Amino acid sequence: MKKLFMALALIFVFISACAPKEDKDAINAKKLIEYHKKKFDSLPLSGKIANGVREIGVKAFQYGWEPESIVVKKGEKVRFIVETADVPHGFELEGIIIPGWDPDKSVRKGWDPDKSVKKGDKTILEINAEEAGVWDMVCTAYCGPGHTGMKGKYIVKN
């Protein structure tokens, strides 16, 4: 009888050790995801709608972007009006193809002056925001020692 009791007690200890517990880390992770989702959803959209197109003025400078984050809605047609405040800069949304625009032509090798953003010019680029997500906005023309840190975000909300 004592042995049976011991065996039952052991089984009980074993089961309670295996039963799913409320994992603190999982709860915290869920809270964090929720927090960021709320923050993400509440981001204001950039620019303004003109004739059904979201127009956004983007200014490149040594070494950053104004605005630093561009926010649009999935399904929108987006028009970037890109200018530079100082030296020529390139423009790329990493992983997104902009029709008629080759960001690699604005790097030093094979540099094409028509494919970089020059002072006094407005470079107009259009894309359709087809997919929700976050992409890096980068400069593809070497513009000085801070060039590689010249990063912004392109955000497409659902």
> Site residues (CB under 5 A) for Cu ion?
139, 143, 147, 150
- Three-state DSSP at 20 gives coil
User: Rounded to an integer, what is the distance from CA 117 to the centroid of its chain?
Assistant: 22
108 contact partners, CB below 8 Å, separation of at least 6: 141, 142
- Three-state DSSP at 27 gives helix
CA–CA gap between residue 156 and residue 152 (Å, rounded): 13
CA–CA gap between residue 139 and residue 147 (Å, rounded): 7
CB of 84 to Cu ion, least distance (A): 10
Q: CB-wise, 129 or 141, nearer to Cu ion?
A: 141
CB of 117 to Cu ion, least distance (A): 10
CA distances from 151 to 64, 75, 146 (A): 6, 24, 10
CB of 148 to Cu ion, least distance (A): 8
Q: CB-wise, 143 or 156, nearer to Cu ion?
A: 143
Q: CB-wise, 58 or 139, nearer to Cu ion?
A: 139
Q: CB-wise, 59 or 147, nearer to Cu ion?
A: 147
CB of 24 to Cu ion, least distance (A): 44
